[in-house]
């Protein structure tokens, strides 16, 4: 069976929906699987995606991820269903709890169990979308009610952000999609995939969630330094304790003298020709990933939207071609050796 094409991610917080429009147009013309947005405190992601649909960009969409403290699960389900109605296309509604500091700034009480809060939130959203009457008073929210019925609409999957095994077990028990960022393929295969399966089995589910993974990518071009691109792409996440811990568990030396090279060697950041990148992404699929999100953060930051879209278009085409490629895994210059 031919693997599904990769999806594309607009990874920044847009000031205006027009910044995202070239990415939506790319999905429509290239056959990329989906357009994903992450949490934004500038233009809110659900509203950006609805705006794009109104502009004629009716493509499959996803959020990777929006933060639980910002909305009650009833509104989360309503927003997700609204996107399915407005776009006429499948939606992945992904949720994560955010950092402890972020939760403290919004919640009156500290979150005693992030895992329980995520699992219960995802479960309530899924039940509401399925038309159920929900009666819940638990770790993170209180909900007694149901969404009013509407006519037929595109499918909505409910996702949970996953980095480490404990949350993977929770997602395995509750989510339709496990959404991961910067998780190297070996770590996915050896750590997260078994944890997702264990969580599903413990909950009596027949199959674990499918996996959608965001991968930093950049096409090798004159003047682009792979190490610099890796540093730019990951600098914010490397400063977050939960990301650093995940990468250490994955065997990535983020505390050493050259974390950028370590990330390149691990495949958490992929730089090369479009064909080499396609070959590296095949390794993610072999590790159990169903949907790869192409994340062009470094190119978007340094060269802008047009350059990022050009990279993504070439990578999507190379993935469709399925051609062979080799990637330098030593983190030197990512040239063919």
Pairing of strands 61-67, 91-96: parallel
Confidence of residue 252 (pLDDT cuts 50, 70, 90): very high
pLDDT of residue 103: 75
Decide: helix, strand or coil at residue 330.
coil
Q: Are 140 and 116 in contact (CB under 8 A)?
A: yes
- What letter does residue 336 receive in the DSSP assignment? -
With 60 as the cut, is the pLDDT of residue 336 above it? Answer: no
Average pLDDT over residues 143-155: 97
pLDDT of residue 119: 97
DSSP string computed for 41-80: SSS-HHHHHHHHHHTT----EEEEEEEGGGS-HHHHHHHH
Say what the pTM is. 0.93
Burial class of residue 198 in the structure, from the number of CB atoms within 10 Å of its CB (0-12 exposed, 13-18 middle, 19+ buried)? middle
Q: Are 117 and 186 in contact (CB under 8 A)?
A: no
Would the CA dihedral through 67, 71, 77, 79 be positive or negative? negative
Average pLDDT over residues 228-246: 95
Closest CA to 249 of 326, 187, 318, 330: 187
φ and ψ of 140, to 5 deg: -130, -15
Confidence of residue 110 (pLDDT cuts 50, 70, 90): low
DSSP string computed for 205-244: -SSPPEEEEEEEEEE--TT--HHHHHHHHHHHHHTSHHHH
With 60 as the cut, is the pLDDT of residue 329 above it? Answer: no
**Tally of CB atoms within 10 A around 181:** 25
pLDDT in tens, 276-309: 999 999 999 999 999 999 999 999 999 999 999 9
Average pLDDT over residues 232-247: 95
Average pLDDT over residues 20-47: 97
């Amino acid at each position: 069976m031919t693997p599904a094409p990769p999806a594309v991610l607009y990874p920044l917080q847009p000031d205006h929906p027009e910044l995202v429009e070239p990415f939506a147009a790319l999905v429509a013309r290239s056959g990329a699987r989906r357009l994903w947005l992450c949490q934004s405190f500038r233009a809110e992601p659900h509203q950006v995606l609805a705006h794009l649909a109104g502009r004629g960009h009716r493509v499959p969409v996803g959020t990777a991820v929006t933060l639980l403290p910002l909305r009650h699960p009833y509104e989360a389900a309503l927003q997700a269903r609204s996107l399915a109605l407005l776009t006429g296309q499948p939606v992945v509604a992904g949720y994560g709890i955010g950092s402890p500091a972020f939760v403290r700034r919004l919640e009156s009480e500290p979150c005693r169990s992030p895992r329980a809060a995520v699992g219960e939130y995802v479960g309530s959203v899924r039940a509401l979308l399925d038309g159920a009457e929900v009666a819940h008073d638990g770790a993170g929210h209180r909900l007694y009610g149901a969404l009013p019925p509407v006519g037929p609409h595109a499918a909505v999957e409910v996702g949970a952000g996953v980095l480490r095994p404990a949350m993977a077990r929770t997602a395995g028990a509750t989510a339709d999609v496990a959404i991961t960022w910067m998780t190297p393929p070996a770590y996915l295969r050896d750590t997260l995939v078994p944890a997702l399966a264990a969580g599903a089995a413990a909950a009596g589910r027949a199959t674990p969630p499918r996996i959608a993974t965001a991968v930093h990518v950049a096409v090798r071009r004159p003047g682009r330094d792979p190490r610099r691109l890796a540093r730019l792409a990951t600098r914010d996440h490397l400063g977050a304790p939960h990301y650093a811990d995940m990468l250490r568990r994955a065997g990535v030396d983020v505390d050493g003298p050259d974390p950028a090279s370590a990330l390149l060697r691990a495949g958490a950041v992929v730089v090369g020709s479009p064909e080499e990148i396609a070959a590296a992404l095949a390794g993610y699929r072999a590790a159990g990933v169903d949907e790869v999100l192409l994340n062009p953060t470094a190119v978007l930051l340094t060269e802008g939207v047009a350059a990022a879209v050009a990279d993504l278009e070439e990578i999507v085409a190379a993935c469709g071609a399925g051609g062979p490629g080799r990637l330098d895994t030593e983190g030197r210059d990512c040239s063919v050796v």
